Amino acid sequence: MKPVAFDYIRADDEGEVLEALAQCGSDAAVLAGGMSLGPMLNMRLVRPAVVVDIGRLAGLRSVDSEGDRVRIGATARQADIMADAGVAEAVPLLARALPHVGHYQTRSRGTFGGSVAHADPSAEIPLALVTLGGEVELTSAHGRRHVEAKDFFKGLLSTARRPDELITGTVWPKRQPATGYAFAEFAQRHGDFAIAAAACALHLKDDRVQSLRLGLGGVEDRPVLIDMSQFDEAEAPGDLALAIAEYAAGSLDPLEDMTASADYRRALTVSLARQVIDAAFEEART
Amino acid sequence: MAQDAGATAGHGTEPWVGRAMPRKEDLALLTGNARFIDDLEPVAGLKHAAILRSPHAHAQITGIDISRATALPGVVGVVTGADVARVTRPIPSVVKVAIDYYPLAVEKVRFAGEPVAVVVADDRYIAEDALDLIDVDYEPLGPAVDVERAMRADAPVLHEAVGSNIANQRSISYGDPDGAFATAAHVVELPYRFPKYSSTPMETYGVIAQHEAMPERYAVWSNFQGPFVLHPLMAGALGVPGNRLRLISPPASGGSFGIKQGVYPYIVLMCAVSRVLGCPVKWIEDRLEHLSASSSATDRVGMVSAAIGANGELEALRFENICNMGAYIRAPEPASVYRMQATSNGCYRVRNIAVDNTLVVTNQMPTGLNRGFGGPQFFFALERIMDLAAKKLGIDPIELRKRNFIAKDQFPYDAPGGSLMDAGDYQSAVAKLEELSGYPALVARRDAAKAEGRLFGIGIACGVEPSGSNMGYVSLAQTAEERGRSEPKSGANTSAVISMDPTGAVTAHICTTPNGQGHATVAAQIVADRLGLDPDRIDVVTEIDTRVSSWSIASGNYANRFAAAVTSALAACGDKVAGKLRAIAAEMFDCAPDDVVLSGGQAHVPGTNKTVPVRRLAAAAHWNPEGMPEHTEPGIYETAVISPEVLTGPDGDDRVPSSVTYGSVFDLAAVEIDPATGRVAIEKYVSVHDVGTVLNPLIVEGQVRGGFVHGLGGALLEEISYDANGNLLSGTFADYLCPTAPEVPDLVIGHANTVSPHTVLGSKGLGDGSSMLAPAALANAVADALDLDEVDLPLTSHRVWQLVQGRKPVPSSIRPMPERAGDDAGDVPLEGLLRGSGTVVIDAPPAEVWAALLDPQGLTDLLPGCREVKAAGANRYEADVELGVAGIKGRYLADVSFLDLREPNSLSISGNVRGGLGHGRGSGRVRLEEADAGRTKLTYDYGADVGGKVAAVGQRMLGRVTEVMIAEFFDGLNAKLSGADPRSSGGGFMRALRRALRLLGVGGRT
């Protein structure tokens, strides 16, 4: 439970980080809140040559409203965003997902960028981002790019981030009118990695489904956005919620492990998907 | 002994005993001022140890090369099993069987996590660096993991000299169980399975050991909690007399719940290491080590049967227990198997009891103390059969128990197994349980819910709490004949020392090495009453230094012995000091000592103006020996050593009074199960306790709550899991799930206390409490909700969901990977638990595919991260592979053989890979068929196993990982032969490793 020897850089500005990443690439590990990297280092599952600490970069912590989007800086703490009434108003799905993220203690240190970079298949922030159609902002010495969340998460703990890139922020679409948002998950204990999670954004027009976004987490090796186009223009849920949920669960290839069989994950998905569709519908209608 | 209320009672002063005094210990703990084992640096020049552990469950060690490790700058040396075998002797147990238990594997490893070598270095970082540089050659052996399979004649044998894995078998009966079963109106039977779980204190094991050569002796600082009956075993293993092994406990403990008993092999180990390397050594266990190799409770499978008369009289009980001892029988085991033997009637009047215990060794970690020590296992069987019998007979489960309880006026009750049960009023206790749970309304609520199709159930469990152990009960593992050959063993010597210095300051010493129970607080209350002083003026030393403490074999912290035995020694010692103070005062006042009353810090004679501060009496004892009364020793330093007189040795009929006091616990659980998720919601949990005299209500409540939470963990969440190959699956807190605050429901606590005649203060032991009953009560409630007989623990949502679905749940303990088609081990000659198969069509004819598969250079290209492939024989290759992604890198050695070659149609592949994060082995078969237009249809199936750290920190994803790795290999083959860059198809190995890292499941999110 002691990490291997590594060089430690506590960066004072973004340029220093990007330079280190350009030089060291995959030999470098970026340290933000350290809630996952810390244990991985201690267990020697990761053995980086360099750890670049971005905790002191003031510029990465800001929350900015940009038109119909909200940009949340990479080192913004999960607990701070959870307490931010402006974010809760603008991105209600995120506000509903955040209480499920880890524990009180880990949220106080854990960051937005860290959660997105770590890409745990059960993580709530990536699931909310994928569901809303948000983006990940990546910066390298060569410049800045934005990657759509659904293309960013590549699999278990793997993302589209290149070794020389730093995740500098996430970009969240703001609340739309006549739209309901809901989040639900199931874990063995409060704060555990979700065995299954579901997030929903449902836009109604004249009591018909205008668009339905359903994201599922913890079930496959990354957050999955289910293609729901066949339900566009459908009548308001009611029994439809179950049909949609079963359709969604049926389109999955769930992970199987000692915590949960594929069947169990599928059954939980049906239950959770139904729950979020119903809740989102209720909200959209009012 | 007679109950009394303390020396000052009756003189108008409220006794300190019985008050809810805040704990003396808490200020230091809460302000960060307490000093734990890891805070200590008691000797100069300490070096730091790290332990290399076996990645295999069962293997022969064919070679250990330490040269690269010892060459690392900062490394003092490396100690192996051969060194330990040279300087120590095996640690014996009470079971006379040819099992040599050393604290470091000698020639063979028998469980994943078993210590194999110890590196000592300038700091722990270097020591861990050096672990990677030790090269151990293992020859894996077939594992015997599941306890029932391990008993079979064809099972691999752990200890060859024993000849089988059955280490011991004893059948003991009281009364005439066979007769009672033959004639009973009803016989109810239940197979049961009680899982392996443990204790997870915040503080892990720690040892600091120093060897001195002239004379040969050892000094050890360790958070060992006792029982100190293990001290002679440690000294014996080290080959020194007891006075040359000095054990010192640190001032504060970060918890134990039993498990700190299991640190003692590491004490022997670090002593040996200090001796071999010639320096003082410190070792602090890390969490992975703790969860994989410290200790656990002894899990059981078995059958319990009850013979019941026409009116619900419990006429006989039969327990057939198969006990999983792990890889060795490690003293004091098999004590847990026999702890409840003397009380195998539970709370009931039943006189005919048969107990059959089979002790089996398996390739799992050895077992030891865990809260309840044998109680949770025993009461799971007994109280599940009671609820089941009630259901089968159509009698209310509480009513069935009421008909069979030992009556209040039958105490002290001579139990069939020999326990002299001190006191109890079970009818009142269970009436309290009914009252606090609103039982009739709860039953109506259950019935209404069930009528609506909801899954609501009620479970009951009742039990006794034997406390203050007779050191002789463990010898029940021997036959009366075997016992007769050695000196009789019984009793529980318990001491207390109280001294007063010349300023009148009081120090009480008790050898209890507490782990958070608040012994110092209660001891001060007891002594304060005896001496008429304020408890704040009394310092209590609870730690042991075997060189100066008045310890004995029963010393330590286990079997709830504080309230059951130590309090009596404290009271006796306090009375000695009080007697002396009164005698000195009487000399001053010229009165009889009995006229002197000690209260409020004064000695005075009621009705007179004669009064003197107690501190002046103490000063006189030090400064004025000449003025002491006749026949009174100067100074104040008194010792009391007691052994409760009820504790006699086992008799020829295997009856033994196992304990001093027998408190009792009565639990009721009501649950509702969510059929969609399998979640068990605890609607109500009520627990009624008989703890005898309440010494401090705050501490009683804390113990009751803590015991409940431990039992809740075992019932719903906690399990040490192995796969069928003996790879540990629960190496982190992401897989070994303990209850956290949100999982703990409201606990309604009641009391039905009866005063114990076996202790001076009337108190009874109480630390185990519902840890013994919550597993049974919750299993009964879930069984009631689902209308099932058998339910296995832990009742995780997944397992309960499977029960709701009417499916066969994942078996407890030995967890095979999910079944796949064609997974029948009988007809597929493949090894491994991770099975898979696939098909790929390759754009080349079979001959080309064949050549590519067998070409070393081709393999170098195909295996991602492969640096070099060397031929190591006919169709055998060794590959040096670096697997890495982002910051994650590791070098692995792969050894691959191609067998059964039928060019160009089929071949088999067998191989293994090993490296820092673990090891794997597997085999596969490949078939090539000509497809259309010069293409080849390649089909494969494989089996693989993964072990070591990667498995321990979470094997959950390995099935998927293996699948992906192998698919990527053949996709790469296709890409290569189609002219594409093989690595462009995915770097499957890397992706797989990334997946493997999800396994860590370590804590939260970044």
Which pLDDT score is estimated for A253?
86
Is A178 touching B (CB cutoff 8 A)?
A: no
Q: Tell me the CATH number at A243.
A: 3.30.390.50
**Residue B1001 pLDDT greater than 70, yes or no:** no
**Residue B888 pLDDT greater than 70, yes or no:** no
Closest residue by Cα to residue A118 from A54, A38, A178: A38
Residues from chain B that touch A36, judged by Cβ atoms under 8 A, are 1002-1006
**Residue B987 pLDDT greater than 60, yes or no:** no
What is the C-alpha to C-alpha distance for residues B759 and A83, in angstroms, rounded to an integer? 56
* Residue B1006 to residue A34, Cβ atoms within 8 A: yes
Q: Quick one: A253 and A190 in the same domain?
A: yes
Residue of A nearest to B677 (CA): A268
In a domain, A111, yes or no: yes
For B400, the token pair is 């069935």
* Residue B994 to residue A2, Cβ atoms within 8 A: no
Contact criterion met (CB below 8 Å) for B541 and B608:
no
In a domain, B812, yes or no: no
B995 pLDDT tier (thresholds 50, 70, 90): very low
Residues from chain A that touch B739, judged by Cβ atoms under 8 A, are 189
What are the beta bridge partners of residue B836? B942
CB-nearest to A36 from B729, B917, B1002 is B1002
Q: Quick one: B525 and B616 in the same domain?
A: yes
* Residue A43 to residue B1003, Cβ atoms within 8 A: no
Q: Quick one: B682 and B586 in the same domain?
A: no
Q: Quick one: B660 and B732 in the same domain?
A: yes
- Over residues B1-57, the pLDDT tens digits come to 444 544 444 344 799 999 999 999 999 999 999 999 999 999 999 999 999 999 999
CA distance B136 to chain A (A): 20
Is A101 touching B (CB cutoff 8 A)?
A: yes
CA distance A100 to chain B (A): 11
Residues from chain B that touch A255, judged by Cβ atoms under 8 A, are 956-957, 960
Q: Of B613, B642, B671, at which residue does a domain stop?
A: B642
Q: Quick one: B738 and B853 in the same domain?
A: no
Question: Residues with Cβ < 8 Å from B988, sequence gap 6 or more?
Answer: B864, B964, B965, B967, B968, B969, B971, B972
Q: Quick one: A66 and A143 in the same domain?
A: yes
A contact test, residue of B282, B720, B1005 with most A CBs within 10 A: B1005
CB-nearest to B1005 from A5, A44, A110 is A110
Q: Of B250, B276, B293, at which residue does a domain stop?
A: B293
Residue B913 belongs to what domain range? 834-998
Residue A22 belongs to what domain range? 7-53
Residues from chain A that touch B133, judged by Cβ atoms under 8 A, are none
Q: Quick one: A64 and A49 in the same domain?
A: no
Q: Quick one: B745 and B874 in the same domain?
A: no
Residues from chain A that touch B743, judged by Cβ atoms under 8 A, are 189-190
Which pLDDT score is estimated for B486?
87
B908 pLDDT tier (thresholds 50, 70, 90): confident
What are the beta bridge partners of residue B915? B892, B918
Q: Tell me the CATH number at B842.
A: 3.30.530.20
Lowest mean pLDDT among A35-44, A179-188, B240-249: A35-44
Is A160 touching B (CB cutoff 8 A)?
A: no
In a domain, B150, yes or no: no
Contact criterion met (CB below 8 Å) for A62 and A14:
no
Which pLDDT score is estimated for B219?
98
What is the C-alpha to C-alpha distance for residues B691 and B769, in angstroms, rounded to an integer? 9
Q: Quick one: B520 and B570 in the same domain?
A: yes
Which pLDDT score is estimated for B854?
80
Q: Tell me the CATH number at B371.
A: 3.30.365.10
In a domain, B476, yes or no: no
In a domain, A1, yes or no: no
* Residue A157 to residue B995, Cβ atoms within 8 A: yes
- Angle ∠(B507,B512,B513) on CA atoms, nearest 5: 100
CB-nearest to A190 from B721, B740, B960 is B740
In a domain, A211, yes or no: yes
Q: Quick one: B851 and B771 in the same domain?
A: no
CA distance A230 to chain B (A): 26
In a domain, B1003, yes or no: no
What is the C-alpha to C-alpha distance for residues A148 and A145, in angstroms, rounded to an integer? 10
Q: Quick one: A42 and A76 in the same domain?
A: no
Which pLDDT score is estimated for B855?
79
CB-nearest to B1006 from A32, A158, A193 is A32
What would the mean pLDDT of A255-267 be, rounded to a whole number?
87
In a domain, A227, yes or no: yes
**Residue B992 pLDDT greater than 50, yes or no:** no
Which pLDDT score is estimated for A225?
95
Which pLDDT score is estimated for B862?
67
Which pLDDT score is estimated for B874?
83
Q: Of A140, A173, A206, at which residue does a domain stop?
A: A173
CA distance A206 to chain B (A): 32
B734 pLDDT tier (thresholds 50, 70, 90): confident
CB-nearest to A158 from B676, B735, B994 is B994
In a domain, A161, yes or no: yes
Q: Tell me the CATH number at A65.
A: 3.30.465.10
Which pLDDT score is estimated for B979?
62
Lowest mean pLDDT among B354-363, B468-477, B483-492: B483-492
What are the beta bridge partners of residue B925? B908, B941
Q: Quick one: A87 and A167 in the same domain?
A: yes
Q: Of A156, A173, A190, at which residue does a domain stop?
A: A173
pLDDT: is B953 or B339 the higher one? Answer: B339
Number of domains present in the structure of chain B: 4
Is A46 touching B (CB cutoff 8 A)?
A: yes
Which pLDDT score is estimated for B815?
45
CB-nearest to A1 from B288, B742, B886 is B288
Sequence-ordered strand ranges (E) for B147-214: 166-174, 186-194, 206-212
H helix runs in B394-513, sequence order: 397-404, 426-437, 439-451, 480-484
What would the mean pLDDT of B748-756 be, rounded to a whole number?
98
Which pLDDT score is estimated for B963?
61
Lowest mean pLDDT among B92-96, B436-440, B461-465: B92-96
What would the mean pLDDT of A259-275 be, rounded to a whole number?
93
Residues from chain B that touch A4, judged by Cβ atoms under 8 A, are 125, 129
What would the mean pLDDT of B688-702 be, rounded to a whole number?
98
Mean pLDDT of chain A: 93
CB pairs under 8 A between A and B: 173
Which pLDDT score is estimated for B941?
83
What is the C-alpha to C-alpha distance for residues B925 and B906, in angstroms, rounded to an integer? 7
Sequence-ordered strand ranges (E) for chain A: 7-10, 28-31, 50-53, 63-66, 69-73, 135-140, 143-148, 153-155, 158-159, 166-173, 179-186, 196-205, 208-217, 224-226
CB-nearest to B997 from A45, A117, A268 is A45
Q: Quick one: B667 and B578 in the same domain?
A: no
Q: Quick one: B393 and B422 in the same domain?
A: yes
In a domain, A258, yes or no: yes
Residues from chain A that touch B892, judged by Cβ atoms under 8 A, are none
Mean pLDDT of chain B: 90
Q: Quick one: A73 and A134 in the same domain?
A: yes
**Residue B989 pLDDT greater than 60, yes or no:** no
In a domain, A2, yes or no: no
What are the beta bridge partners of residue B834? B944
What would the mean pLDDT of A139-155 be, rounded to a whole number?
95
CA distance B983 to chain A (A): 17
Is A26 touching B (CB cutoff 8 A)?
A: yes
CB-nearest to B995 from A38, A110, A221 is A221
Which pLDDT score is estimated for A44?
87
**Residue A219 pLDDT greater than 90, yes or no:** yes
Q: Quick one: A35 and A68 in the same domain?
A: no
The predicted complex's ipTM stands at 0.95
Residues from chain B that touch A103, judged by Cβ atoms under 8 A, are 1004
What are the beta bridge partners of residue B906? B902, B927
In a domain, A167, yes or no: yes
For B249, the token pair is 């406990």
* Residue B798 to residue A264, Cβ atoms within 8 A: yes
Question: Residues with Cβ < 8 Å from B844, sequence gap 6 or more?
Answer: B852, B934, B935, B936, B977, B978
CA distance A238 to chain B (A): 19
CA distance A49 to chain B (A): 8
Most confident of B630-639, B834-843, B862-871: B630-639
Which pLDDT score is estimated for B863?
67
**Residue B643 pLDDT greater than 50, yes or no:** yes
Q: Of A120, A146, A173, at which residue does a domain stop?
A: A173
Is A211 touching B (CB cutoff 8 A)?
A: no
Q: Quick one: B447 and B553 in the same domain?
A: no
B997 pLDDT tier (thresholds 50, 70, 90): very low
Q: Tell me the CATH number at A41.
A: 3.30.43.10
Which pLDDT score is estimated for A25?
87
- Over residues B101-142, the pLDDT tens digits come to 999 999 999 999 999 999 999 999 999 999 999 999 999 999
What are the beta bridge partners of residue B464? B664
CB-nearest to A26 from B737, B887, B960 is B887
* Residue A26 to residue B721, Cβ atoms within 8 A: no
Q: Quick one: A148 and A82 in the same domain?
A: yes
CB-nearest to B887 from A46, A101, A192 is A46
B919 pLDDT tier (thresholds 50, 70, 90): confident
Number of domains present in the structure of chain A: 3
Total count of residues recorded for chain A: 286
**Residue B816 pLDDT greater than 60, yes or no:** no
Q: Quick one: A69 and A148 in the same domain?
A: yes
Q: Quick one: A142 and A212 in the same domain?
A: no
- Over residues B199-232, the pLDDT tens digits come to 999 999 999 999 999 999 999 999 999 999 999 9
Q: Tell me the residue type at A101.
A: V
* Residue A111 to residue B917, Cβ atoms within 8 A: no
What is the C-alpha to C-alpha distance for residues B715 and B671, in angstroms, rounded to an integer? 13
In a domain, B905, yes or no: yes
CA distance B412 to chain A (A): 44
Q: Of B249, B266, B293, at which residue does a domain stop?
A: B293
Kindly state the percentage of chain B with pLDDT values over 70.
89
What would the mean pLDDT of B242-261 be, rounded to a whole number?
97
Q: Quick one: A32 and A136 in the same domain?
A: no
* Residue B1005 to residue A261, Cβ atoms within 8 A: no
* Residue A114 to residue B1006, Cβ atoms within 8 A: yes
* Residue B1004 to residue A35, Cβ atoms within 8 A: yes
- Over residues B144-200, the pLDDT tens digits come to 999 999 999 999 999 999 999 999 999 999 999 999 999 999 999 999 999 999 999
Q: Quick one: B740 and B774 in the same domain?
A: yes
Q: Quick one: A34 and A70 in the same domain?
A: no
Q: Quick one: B301 and B289 in the same domain?
A: no
CB-nearest to B995 from A2, A43, A155 is A155
